[in-house]
Amino acid sequence: MLSREDFISRFGGVFEHSLFIAERAYDTGSIKEPLTASGVHAALAAVFRAASREERLGVLRAHPDLAGRLAISGELTEDSRKEQAGAGLDRLSPAEHARFTELNSAYVEKFGFPFIIAVKGLGKDDILSAFEVRIGNGRDEEFATAAAEVERIALLRLTAMLPEAE
């Protein structure tokens, strides 16, 4: 079994900048060998769901804007950089970038956290379309949608790191 420190080092970034999720999952004893993507995800997601609304909001706020300031300055986590590049968000035209910037600002102003979507398998047009639909949601609906997307992102990251059970 991985030590607590090794587990946190390896999986602490699965939920963006939110080490407490890996710490609590390990401390509850819900991490079982052999480590699989679905098993670790279940343990981490349970902690995320059990966290206070304010803690979950903190996890949402830890995510970067899509094609935003951190992407431009090269300050994204490696996972976020790869995910955004895979969706083509590192190759936007000036007009597309302006639209993302406008939507990011309006979304954060309305909801208090950045627009979050698991971008794997999506292109920039898919993302813009989802952005434009979801900005019309109510706060509670969008909080739930964003939290579900955070869990989906975590599962995708874990799937890239760990095998599934035989």
Torsion of CA 77, 121, 131, 115, to 10 degrees: -20
d(CA 23, CA 163): 21
Q: How far is CA 122 from CA 11, 91, 109, in A?
A: 25, 14, 25
Where b means 16+ CB within 10 Å and e means fewer, 79-90 reads bbbbbbeebbbe
Tell me how far apart the alpha carbons of residues 93 and 2 are, in angstroms, rounded to a whole number: 45
Q: Give the active site residue among 17, 41, 63, 97.
A: 63
Tell me if residue 115 falls in helix, strand or coil. coil
**Annotated catalytic residue 41:** no
Q: Which residues are catalytic?
A: 63
